[in-house]
Structure 1
Amino acid sequence: MSRAQRLLDLIQILRRHRFPVTGTQLAEELGISLRTLYRDIATLQEQGASIAGESGLGYVLKPGFMLPPLMFSEEEIEALVLGSRWVADRGDDRLAAAARNALHKIAAVLPADLRESLDTTTLLAGPDQSKADIDTGLPLLRSAIRNERKIFLSYKDGKGQISQRMIWPFALGYFEHVRVLIAWCELRQEIRHFRSDRIEAFEVYDLRYPKRRQALLKEWRAKEGITTDRI
Protein backbone atom coordinates (compact mmCIF):
# COMPACT_ATOMS: atom_id res chain seq x y z
CA MET A 1 0.00 0.00 0.00
CA SER A 2 1.33 3.43 -0.94
CA ARG A 3 1.73 6.08 1.76
CA ALA A 4 -0.84 8.28 0.01
CA GLN A 5 -3.38 5.46 0.12
CA ARG A 6 -2.52 4.79 3.76
CA LEU A 7 -3.13 8.43 4.71
CA LEU A 8 -6.46 8.32 2.90
CA ASP A 9 -7.42 5.15 4.76
CA LEU A 10 -6.42 6.75 8.06
CA ILE A 11 -8.68 9.73 7.36
CA GLN A 12 -11.55 7.40 6.48
CA ILE A 13 -11.10 5.38 9.69
CA LEU A 14 -11.07 8.53 11.80
CA ARG A 15 -14.24 9.75 10.07
CA ARG A 16 -16.04 6.58 11.12
CA HIS A 17 -15.37 7.22 14.81
CA ARG A 18 -17.27 9.92 16.68
CA PHE A 19 -15.17 9.40 19.81
CA PRO A 20 -11.38 9.15 20.27
CA VAL A 21 -9.80 5.94 18.99
CA THR A 22 -6.47 4.76 20.35
CA GLY A 23 -3.29 4.81 18.32
CA THR A 24 -2.91 1.05 18.90
CA GLN A 25 -6.30 0.38 17.36
CA LEU A 26 -5.56 2.62 14.39
CA ALA A 27 -2.17 1.03 13.81
CA GLU A 28 -3.64 -2.48 13.94
CA GLU A 29 -6.40 -1.62 11.47
CA LEU A 30 -3.88 -0.12 9.06
CA GLY A 31 -1.30 -2.85 9.60
CA ILE A 32 1.48 -0.43 10.54
CA SER A 33 3.64 0.28 13.58
CA LEU A 34 2.75 2.88 16.20
CA ARG A 35 5.79 4.92 15.19
CA THR A 36 4.55 5.03 11.58
CA LEU A 37 1.07 5.95 12.77
CA TYR A 38 2.39 8.89 14.81
CA ARG A 39 4.28 10.14 11.74
CA ASP A 40 1.14 9.83 9.60
CA ILE A 41 -0.94 11.70 12.17
CA ALA A 42 1.67 14.49 12.23
CA THR A 43 1.69 14.63 8.42
CA LEU A 44 -2.09 15.01 8.26
CA GLN A 45 -2.02 17.68 10.94
CA GLU A 46 0.60 19.60 8.97
CA GLN A 47 -1.68 19.46 5.92
CA GLY A 48 -4.55 21.00 7.87
CA ALA A 49 -6.40 18.03 9.33
CA SER A 50 -7.95 18.97 12.67
CA ILE A 51 -7.01 15.80 14.53
CA ALA A 52 -7.34 16.20 18.28
CA GLY A 53 -5.63 13.94 20.83
CA GLU A 54 -2.25 12.50 21.51
CA SER A 55 -0.47 9.17 21.87
CA GLY A 56 -1.88 7.04 24.68
CA LEU A 57 -5.20 8.91 24.83
CA GLY A 58 -6.69 8.50 21.39
CA TYR A 59 -7.42 10.58 18.31
CA VAL A 60 -10.54 12.12 16.82
CA LEU A 61 -11.00 14.00 13.53
CA LYS A 62 -13.10 17.14 13.81
CA PRO A 63 -15.73 17.58 11.05
CA GLY A 64 -15.10 19.57 7.89
CA PHE A 65 -11.63 18.45 6.84
CA MET A 66 -11.08 17.61 3.19
CA LEU A 67 -7.80 16.48 1.72
CA PRO A 68 -8.12 17.13 -2.04
CA PRO A 69 -5.01 15.27 -3.26
CA LEU A 70 -6.09 12.16 -1.34
CA MET A 71 -9.85 12.58 -1.59
CA PHE A 72 -10.60 9.45 -3.60
CA SER A 73 -9.05 6.09 -4.36
CA GLU A 74 -9.00 4.89 -7.98
CA GLU A 75 -11.99 2.59 -7.38
CA GLU A 76 -13.90 5.45 -5.71
CA ILE A 77 -13.22 7.57 -8.80
CA GLU A 78 -14.52 4.77 -11.03
CA ALA A 79 -17.68 4.53 -8.91
CA LEU A 80 -18.23 8.30 -9.10
CA VAL A 81 -17.73 8.41 -12.87
CA LEU A 82 -19.98 5.41 -13.50
CA GLY A 83 -22.72 6.79 -11.26
CA SER A 84 -22.49 10.24 -12.82
CA ARG A 85 -22.67 8.80 -16.32
CA TRP A 86 -25.75 6.78 -15.36
CA VAL A 87 -27.46 9.89 -13.97
CA ALA A 88 -26.43 12.02 -16.95
CA ASP A 89 -28.06 9.51 -19.32
CA ARG A 90 -31.19 8.74 -17.29
CA GLY A 91 -31.88 11.87 -15.27
CA ASP A 92 -33.96 14.83 -16.26
CA ASP A 93 -32.06 17.76 -17.81
CA ARG A 94 -31.31 19.51 -14.49
CA LEU A 95 -30.13 16.36 -12.73
CA ALA A 96 -28.04 15.32 -15.74
CA ALA A 97 -26.37 18.75 -15.83
CA ALA A 98 -25.73 18.54 -12.08
CA ALA A 99 -24.02 15.17 -12.51
CA ARG A 100 -21.71 16.53 -15.20
CA ASN A 101 -20.94 19.66 -13.17
CA ALA A 102 -20.10 17.56 -10.12
CA LEU A 103 -17.54 15.58 -12.11
CA HIS A 104 -15.94 18.81 -13.35
CA LYS A 105 -15.66 20.07 -9.77
CA ILE A 106 -14.12 16.79 -8.61
CA ALA A 107 -11.63 16.86 -11.49
CA ALA A 108 -10.58 20.40 -10.56
CA VAL A 109 -9.28 19.36 -7.12
CA LEU A 110 -7.64 16.07 -8.05
CA PRO A 111 -3.90 15.75 -8.62
CA ALA A 112 -2.78 15.03 -12.16
CA ASP A 113 -2.50 11.25 -11.84
CA LEU A 114 -5.96 10.82 -10.32
CA ARG A 115 -7.46 13.32 -12.75
CA GLU A 116 -6.12 11.16 -15.56
CA SER A 117 -7.84 8.15 -13.96
CA LEU A 118 -11.10 10.08 -13.96
CA ASP A 119 -10.71 11.09 -17.61
CA THR A 120 -9.69 7.66 -18.87
CA THR A 121 -11.88 5.25 -16.89
CA THR A 122 -13.50 2.69 -19.17
CA LEU A 123 -16.54 1.95 -17.00
CA LEU A 124 -19.53 2.97 -19.09
CA ALA A 125 -23.25 3.33 -18.43
CA GLY A 126 -25.26 1.70 -21.21
CA PRO A 127 -27.84 3.89 -22.97
CA ASP A 128 -31.43 3.87 -21.80
CA GLN A 129 -33.42 2.90 -24.88
CA SER A 130 -36.81 3.79 -23.44
CA LYS A 131 -36.08 7.16 -21.82
CA ALA A 132 -39.30 6.55 -19.88
CA ASP A 133 -40.87 9.32 -17.80
CA ILE A 134 -38.00 11.78 -18.02
CA ASP A 135 -40.02 14.94 -17.71
CA THR A 136 -39.91 18.48 -16.40
CA GLY A 137 -41.90 17.53 -13.30
CA LEU A 138 -39.12 15.60 -11.60
CA PRO A 139 -37.12 18.66 -10.44
CA LEU A 140 -40.27 20.03 -8.78
CA LEU A 141 -40.89 16.68 -7.06
CA ARG A 142 -37.32 16.64 -5.77
CA SER A 143 -37.74 20.18 -4.46
CA ALA A 144 -40.92 19.18 -2.62
CA ILE A 145 -39.03 16.29 -1.00
CA ARG A 146 -36.13 18.51 0.09
CA ASN A 147 -38.50 21.10 1.57
CA GLU A 148 -40.91 18.53 3.07
CA ARG A 149 -43.95 19.99 1.31
CA LYS A 150 -47.29 18.32 0.75
CA ILE A 151 -48.36 17.45 -2.80
CA PHE A 152 -51.89 17.15 -4.16
CA LEU A 153 -51.72 14.37 -6.71
CA SER A 154 -53.91 13.18 -9.55
CA TYR A 155 -52.79 9.59 -10.13
CA LYS A 156 -53.76 6.86 -12.59
CA ASP A 157 -53.29 3.30 -11.33
CA GLY A 158 -52.45 0.21 -13.37
CA LYS A 159 -56.13 -0.30 -14.26
CA GLY A 160 -56.49 3.23 -15.57
CA GLN A 161 -58.49 4.49 -12.59
CA ILE A 162 -57.70 8.08 -11.58
CA SER A 163 -57.74 9.22 -7.97
CA GLN A 164 -56.85 12.42 -6.17
CA ARG A 165 -54.92 12.34 -2.94
CA MET A 166 -52.74 14.42 -0.66
CA ILE A 167 -49.30 12.91 -0.07
CA TRP A 168 -46.13 13.60 1.90
CA PRO A 169 -43.26 12.85 -0.51
CA PHE A 170 -39.97 11.80 1.09
CA ALA A 171 -38.00 9.79 -1.49
CA LEU A 172 -37.69 9.29 -5.24
CA GLY A 173 -36.44 5.94 -6.54
CA TYR A 174 -34.58 5.82 -9.85
CA PHE A 175 -34.99 2.46 -11.54
CA GLU A 176 -33.80 1.44 -14.99
CA HIS A 177 -36.91 2.51 -16.89
CA VAL A 178 -39.15 4.16 -14.31
CA ARG A 179 -39.04 6.64 -11.43
CA VAL A 180 -41.04 5.91 -8.27
CA LEU A 181 -42.18 8.56 -5.82
CA ILE A 182 -42.38 7.23 -2.26
CA ALA A 183 -44.78 9.09 0.01
CA TRP A 184 -47.16 8.88 2.93
CA CYS A 185 -50.69 8.91 1.51
CA GLU A 186 -53.33 10.70 3.58
CA LEU A 187 -56.10 8.83 1.73
CA ARG A 188 -54.73 5.35 2.49
CA GLN A 189 -53.05 6.31 5.77
CA GLU A 190 -49.89 4.43 4.83
CA ILE A 191 -46.76 4.71 2.74
CA ARG A 192 -47.45 4.18 -0.94
CA HIS A 193 -45.43 4.10 -4.18
CA PHE A 194 -46.36 6.21 -7.20
CA ARG A 195 -44.85 5.72 -10.64
CA SER A 196 -44.02 9.14 -12.03
CA ASP A 197 -45.22 8.17 -15.51
CA ARG A 198 -48.71 7.60 -14.06
CA ILE A 199 -48.93 11.01 -12.39
CA GLU A 200 -51.53 12.91 -14.39
CA ALA A 201 -51.01 16.22 -12.57
CA PHE A 202 -49.75 17.49 -9.25
CA GLU A 203 -49.53 20.67 -7.22
CA VAL A 204 -46.97 21.39 -4.53
CA TYR A 205 -48.56 23.08 -1.54
CA ASP A 206 -46.67 25.61 0.52
CA LEU A 207 -47.54 23.49 3.54
CA ARG A 208 -44.98 21.47 5.43
CA TYR A 209 -46.07 17.97 6.34
CA PRO A 210 -45.98 17.07 10.05
CA LYS A 211 -43.24 14.40 10.00
CA ARG A 212 -39.60 14.81 9.04
CA ARG A 213 -38.65 13.07 5.83
CA GLN A 214 -35.85 11.13 7.54
CA ALA A 215 -38.39 9.68 10.00
CA LEU A 216 -40.62 8.63 7.10
CA LEU A 217 -37.64 7.15 5.27
CA LYS A 218 -36.67 5.17 8.38
CA GLU A 219 -40.24 3.90 8.69
CA TRP A 220 -40.26 2.86 5.03
CA ARG A 221 -36.93 1.07 5.35
CA ALA A 222 -38.20 -0.88 8.34
CA LYS A 223 -41.37 -1.80 6.47
CA GLU A 224 -39.47 -2.96 3.39
CA GLY A 225 -36.68 -4.65 5.35
CA ILE A 226 -34.05 -2.41 3.79
CA THR A 227 -30.83 -1.90 5.74
CA THR A 228 -28.91 1.39 5.68
CA ASP A 229 -25.93 -0.21 3.94
CA ARG A 230 -28.13 -0.81 0.87
CA ILE A 231 -29.47 2.72 0.59
Structure 2
Amino acid sequence: MKRLERLTALLSFLQSRRYAGVRELEEKFGVSERTIYRDLRSLDESGVPISFEKDKGYFIVDKYFLPPLAFTLDEAKSFIFMERLAEKYTDKEVFGHFSSALEKIKNKLKHYQLEDIELLESNIGTYIDSNYTPKYIHLTEQAISNKKVLNISYKDIRGNRTERTVEPIGMTFYSQTWHLIAYCRLREDYRDFALSRITAISLSNEYITEKRLSLSEYIKKLEEAEQD
Protein backbone atom coordinates (compact mmCIF):
# COMPACT_ATOMS: atom_id res chain seq x y z
CA MET A 1 0.00 0.00 0.00
CA LYS A 2 1.40 3.38 -1.03
CA ARG A 3 1.77 6.06 1.63
CA LEU A 4 -1.02 8.30 0.30
CA GLU A 5 -3.39 5.33 0.19
CA ARG A 6 -2.35 4.37 3.72
CA LEU A 7 -2.93 7.89 5.04
CA THR A 8 -6.41 7.94 3.52
CA ALA A 9 -7.16 4.49 4.93
CA LEU A 10 -5.78 5.52 8.33
CA LEU A 11 -8.03 8.57 8.39
CA SER A 12 -11.09 6.47 7.52
CA PHE A 13 -10.15 3.88 10.14
CA LEU A 14 -9.76 6.49 12.88
CA GLN A 15 -13.15 7.96 12.00
CA SER A 16 -14.76 4.54 12.36
CA ARG A 17 -13.37 4.00 15.88
CA ARG A 18 -13.82 5.80 19.17
CA TYR A 19 -10.15 5.11 19.99
CA ALA A 20 -7.29 3.29 18.26
CA GLY A 21 -4.04 2.22 19.88
CA VAL A 22 -0.68 2.22 18.10
CA ARG A 23 -0.41 -1.58 18.32
CA GLU A 24 -3.84 -1.95 16.71
CA LEU A 25 -2.81 0.41 13.90
CA GLU A 26 0.47 -1.46 13.36
CA GLU A 27 -1.42 -4.73 12.89
CA LYS A 28 -4.10 -3.13 10.74
CA PHE A 29 -1.71 -1.55 8.25
CA GLY A 30 1.26 -3.89 8.55
CA VAL A 31 3.82 -1.18 9.26
CA SER A 32 6.16 -0.33 12.10
CA GLU A 33 5.39 1.75 15.18
CA ARG A 34 7.66 4.48 13.85
CA THR A 35 5.70 4.61 10.58
CA ILE A 36 2.39 4.88 12.44
CA TYR A 37 3.67 7.82 14.48
CA ARG A 38 4.93 9.50 11.31
CA ASP A 39 1.57 9.00 9.57
CA LEU A 40 -0.35 10.35 12.57
CA ARG A 41 1.89 13.41 12.61
CA SER A 42 1.33 13.93 8.87
CA LEU A 43 -2.45 13.84 9.31
CA ASP A 44 -2.21 16.26 12.22
CA GLU A 45 -0.04 18.66 10.22
CA SER A 46 -2.51 18.52 7.33
CA GLY A 47 -5.29 19.84 9.57
CA VAL A 48 -6.96 16.67 10.85
CA PRO A 49 -7.65 17.25 14.59
CA ILE A 50 -6.07 14.11 16.08
CA SER A 51 -5.85 13.82 19.84
CA PHE A 52 -4.63 11.21 22.33
CA GLU A 53 -6.04 9.91 25.60
CA LYS A 54 -3.91 7.88 27.98
CA ASP A 55 -4.79 4.16 28.24
CA LYS A 56 -7.26 4.51 25.35
CA GLY A 57 -5.41 5.68 22.27
CA TYR A 58 -5.69 8.13 19.41
CA PHE A 59 -8.96 9.60 18.20
CA ILE A 60 -10.31 12.27 15.90
CA VAL A 61 -12.01 15.17 17.62
CA ASP A 62 -15.81 15.19 17.26
CA LYS A 63 -17.46 17.13 14.44
CA TYR A 64 -14.65 16.44 11.96
CA PHE A 65 -15.75 14.76 8.75
CA LEU A 66 -13.96 13.53 5.67
CA PRO A 67 -14.06 15.92 2.71
CA PRO A 68 -16.63 14.99 0.01
CA LEU A 69 -15.83 11.66 -1.62
CA ALA A 70 -15.73 11.05 -5.35
CA PHE A 71 -18.63 8.93 -6.60
CA THR A 72 -18.98 7.11 -9.90
CA LEU A 73 -22.12 7.82 -11.92
CA ASP A 74 -23.59 4.41 -11.06
CA GLU A 75 -22.92 4.98 -7.36
CA ALA A 76 -24.62 8.38 -7.54
CA LYS A 77 -27.61 6.85 -9.36
CA SER A 78 -28.11 4.34 -6.55
CA PHE A 79 -28.85 7.26 -4.22
CA ILE A 80 -31.82 8.25 -6.40
CA PHE A 81 -33.50 4.93 -5.64
CA MET A 82 -32.81 5.44 -1.95
CA GLU A 83 -34.16 9.00 -2.13
CA ARG A 84 -37.49 7.76 -3.47
CA LEU A 85 -37.75 5.21 -0.67
CA ALA A 86 -36.67 7.74 1.95
CA GLU A 87 -39.31 10.17 0.70
CA LYS A 88 -42.09 7.64 1.27
CA TYR A 89 -40.84 5.59 4.19
CA THR A 90 -39.16 8.12 6.51
CA ASP A 91 -40.37 11.24 8.29
CA LYS A 92 -39.63 14.78 7.15
CA GLU A 93 -36.59 15.20 9.41
CA VAL A 94 -34.79 12.09 8.15
CA PHE A 95 -35.76 12.81 4.55
CA GLY A 96 -34.52 16.37 4.93
CA HIS A 97 -31.10 15.15 6.06
CA PHE A 98 -30.95 12.64 3.20
CA SER A 99 -31.93 15.25 0.61
CA SER A 100 -29.26 17.61 1.92
CA ALA A 101 -26.61 14.89 1.61
CA LEU A 102 -27.78 13.99 -1.91
CA GLU A 103 -27.62 17.62 -2.99
CA LYS A 104 -23.98 17.76 -1.89
CA ILE A 105 -23.27 14.69 -4.02
CA LYS A 106 -24.98 16.27 -7.03
CA ASN A 107 -22.87 19.39 -6.63
CA LYS A 108 -19.75 17.29 -7.20
CA LEU A 109 -20.96 15.72 -10.46
CA LYS A 110 -20.01 16.80 -13.95
CA HIS A 111 -22.75 18.52 -15.96
CA TYR A 112 -23.26 15.50 -18.25
CA GLN A 113 -23.51 13.20 -15.21
CA LEU A 114 -26.07 15.50 -13.64
CA GLU A 115 -28.19 15.27 -16.78
CA ASP A 116 -28.28 11.47 -16.42
CA ILE A 117 -29.23 11.80 -12.76
CA GLU A 118 -32.06 14.25 -13.49
CA LEU A 119 -33.42 11.95 -16.22
CA LEU A 120 -33.43 9.03 -13.79
CA GLU A 121 -35.12 11.13 -11.09
CA SER A 122 -38.04 11.92 -13.39
CA ASN A 123 -38.60 8.23 -14.14
CA ILE A 124 -38.37 6.64 -10.69
CA GLY A 125 -41.42 6.56 -8.45
CA THR A 126 -42.97 4.76 -5.49
CA TYR A 127 -46.64 4.16 -4.90
CA ILE A 128 -48.00 3.29 -1.47
CA ASP A 129 -51.15 3.84 0.55
CA SER A 130 -51.79 7.59 0.54
CA ASN A 131 -52.97 7.34 4.16
CA TYR A 132 -49.52 6.23 5.29
CA THR A 133 -47.61 9.12 6.86
CA PRO A 134 -44.33 8.14 8.54
CA LYS A 135 -43.70 9.92 11.83
CA TYR A 136 -41.48 9.83 14.90
CA ILE A 137 -38.64 8.12 13.00
CA HIS A 138 -36.07 10.84 13.68
CA LEU A 139 -36.89 11.04 17.39
CA THR A 140 -36.79 7.25 17.71
CA GLU A 141 -33.43 7.15 15.92
CA GLN A 142 -32.08 9.73 18.37
CA ALA A 143 -33.19 7.60 21.33
CA ILE A 144 -31.50 4.51 19.88
CA SER A 145 -28.28 6.34 18.99
CA ASN A 146 -28.00 8.08 22.36
CA LYS A 147 -29.30 5.12 24.41
CA LYS A 148 -32.08 7.18 25.96
CA VAL A 149 -35.49 6.23 27.33
CA LEU A 150 -38.66 7.13 25.42
CA ASN A 151 -42.10 7.97 26.79
CA ILE A 152 -44.88 7.00 24.40
CA SER A 153 -48.66 6.98 24.20
CA TYR A 154 -49.70 3.83 22.36
CA LYS A 155 -52.98 2.66 20.84
CA ASP A 156 -53.14 -1.10 20.28
CA ILE A 157 -55.03 -2.91 17.53
CA ARG A 158 -58.20 -2.97 19.69
CA GLY A 159 -58.04 0.77 20.27
CA ASN A 160 -56.86 0.57 23.88
CA ARG A 161 -54.53 3.43 24.86
CA THR A 162 -51.67 3.10 27.34
CA GLU A 163 -48.77 5.23 28.48
CA ARG A 164 -45.45 3.42 28.19
CA THR A 165 -41.88 4.08 29.26
CA VAL A 166 -39.64 2.08 26.96
CA GLU A 167 -35.95 1.40 26.37
CA PRO A 168 -35.39 1.25 22.57
CA ILE A 169 -33.10 -1.42 21.13
CA GLY A 170 -33.81 -0.91 17.42
CA MET A 171 -36.19 -0.27 14.54
CA THR A 172 -37.38 -2.54 11.75
CA PHE A 173 -39.70 -2.11 8.78
CA TYR A 174 -42.42 -4.59 7.82
CA SER A 175 -46.15 -4.63 6.99
CA GLN A 176 -45.86 -1.17 5.41
CA THR A 177 -44.74 0.60 8.59
CA TRP A 178 -41.75 1.12 10.87
CA HIS A 179 -41.71 -0.70 14.20
CA LEU A 180 -39.91 0.27 17.39
CA ILE A 181 -38.49 -2.71 19.27
CA ALA A 182 -38.01 -1.85 22.92
CA TYR A 183 -38.00 -3.13 26.47
CA CYS A 184 -41.32 -2.04 27.98
CA ARG A 185 -41.16 -1.22 31.68
CA LEU A 186 -44.93 -1.57 32.02
CA ARG A 187 -44.95 -5.15 30.68
CA GLU A 188 -41.43 -5.94 31.94
CA ASP A 189 -40.56 -7.55 28.63
CA TYR A 190 -39.61 -6.71 25.06
CA ARG A 191 -42.39 -5.37 22.87
CA ASP A 192 -42.93 -4.46 19.22
CA PHE A 193 -44.57 -1.04 18.76
CA ALA A 194 -45.82 0.01 15.33
CA LEU A 195 -44.87 3.67 14.93
CA SER A 196 -48.18 4.22 13.15
CA ARG A 197 -49.96 3.40 16.44
CA ILE A 198 -47.90 5.77 18.57
CA THR A 199 -50.01 8.87 19.21
CA ALA A 200 -47.44 10.87 21.20
CA ILE A 201 -43.76 10.50 21.95
CA SER A 202 -41.09 12.31 23.95
CA LEU A 203 -37.39 11.78 24.50
CA SER A 204 -36.51 11.68 28.19
CA ASN A 205 -33.25 12.78 29.78
CA GLU A 206 -32.79 9.32 31.29
CA TYR A 207 -30.10 7.08 29.85
CA ILE A 208 -30.53 3.32 29.50
CA THR A 209 -28.27 1.69 32.08
CA GLU A 210 -29.50 -1.92 32.07
CA LYS A 211 -27.99 -4.32 29.54
CA ARG A 212 -30.65 -5.18 26.96
CA LEU A 213 -30.78 -7.43 23.92
CA SER A 214 -29.51 -6.05 20.64
CA LEU A 215 -31.96 -5.98 17.73
CA SER A 216 -30.26 -8.98 16.10
CA GLU A 217 -30.43 -10.92 19.38
CA TYR A 218 -34.12 -10.09 19.72
CA ILE A 219 -34.87 -11.29 16.18
CA LYS A 220 -32.86 -14.47 16.73
CA LYS A 221 -34.85 -15.14 19.90
CA LEU A 222 -38.11 -14.79 17.96
CA GLU A 223 -36.88 -17.15 15.24
CA GLU A 224 -35.86 -19.75 17.81
CA ALA A 225 -39.27 -19.48 19.51
CA GLU A 226 -41.02 -20.10 16.18
CA GLN A 227 -38.98 -23.26 15.63
CA ASP A 228 -39.95 -24.76 19.01
Which category describes the TM-score, using the shorter chain as reference length? Answer: 0.5 to 0.7
Gaps of 5+ in 2: 144-148, 222-228
Alignment partners' CA distance in 1, 2:65 and 2:10: 13
The residue number in structure 2 matching 1:129 is 127
What whole-Å deviation, never above 9, does each CA across 1:150-207 have from its counterpart, x for those lacking one? Answer: 1121221xxxx3322232352443348322132334553322113344x2x623468x
The residue number in structure 1 matching 2:22 is 21
Alignment partners' CA distance in 2, 1:4 and 1:175: 44
Q: Is the 8 A contact 1:91 1:134 kept in 2?
A: no
Please report how far the alpha carbon of residue 60 of structure 1 lies from its aligned counterpart in structure 2 after TM superposition: 2.6
**Equivalent position SS for 1:9:** helix
- Letter of the 2:217 counterpart: A
**Equivalent position SS for 1:44:** helix
**Equivalent position SS for 2:128:** coil
Alignment partners' CA distance in 1, 2:217 and 2:185: 20
Q: How does 1:141-160 map to 2 (within 5 A)?
A: 142-143=138-139, 146=142, 148-156=149-157
Q: Is the 8 A contact 1:152 1:167 kept in 2?
A: yes
The residue number in structure 2 matching 1:97 is 96
Alignment partners' CA distance in 2, 1:191 and 1:218: 9
Percentage of pairs with the same residue: 19
Alignment partners' CA distance in 1, 2:9 and 2:172: 31
2:189 aligned with 1:190 = yes
Gaps of 5+ in 1: 54-58, 227-231
Q: Is the 8 A contact 2:50 2:61 kept in 1?
A: no
Query: Cα RMSD between the aligned structures?
Result: 4.7
Change (3 A) 1:9 1:219: closer
Report the count of equivalent residues. Answer: 200
Alignment partners' CA distance in 1, 2:5 and 2:151: 46
- Letter of the 1:25 counterpart: E
TM-score, normalised via structure 2 length? 0.59
Alignment partners' CA distance in 2, 1:127 and 1:2: 44
- Letter of the 1:222 counterpart: E
Alignment partners' CA distance in 2, 1:3 and 1:85: 40
Q: How does 1:61-210 map to 2 (within 5 A)?
A: 61-64=59-62, 65-68=64-67, 72=69, 74=71, 78=75, 81=79, 83-105=82-104, 112=108, 115-116=109-110, 127-131=125-129, 134-135=132-133, 138-139=135-136, 142-143=138-139, 146=142, 148-156=149-157, 161-169=158-166, 170=168, 171-175=170-174, 177-197=176-196, 199=197, 202-204=199-201, 208=204
The residue number in structure 2 matching 1:56 is none
TM-score, normalised via structure 1 length? 0.58
What whole-Å deviation, never above 9, does each CA across 1:95-130 have from its counterpart, x for those lacking one? Answer: 32332023335666xxx5xx4599567998964322
Task: Specify which of 203, 206, 219 is matched with residue 224 of structure 1.
Answer: 219
- Letter of the 1:152 counterpart: S
Change (3 A) 1:67 1:93: closer
Alignment partners' CA distance in 2, 1:142 and 1:17: 23
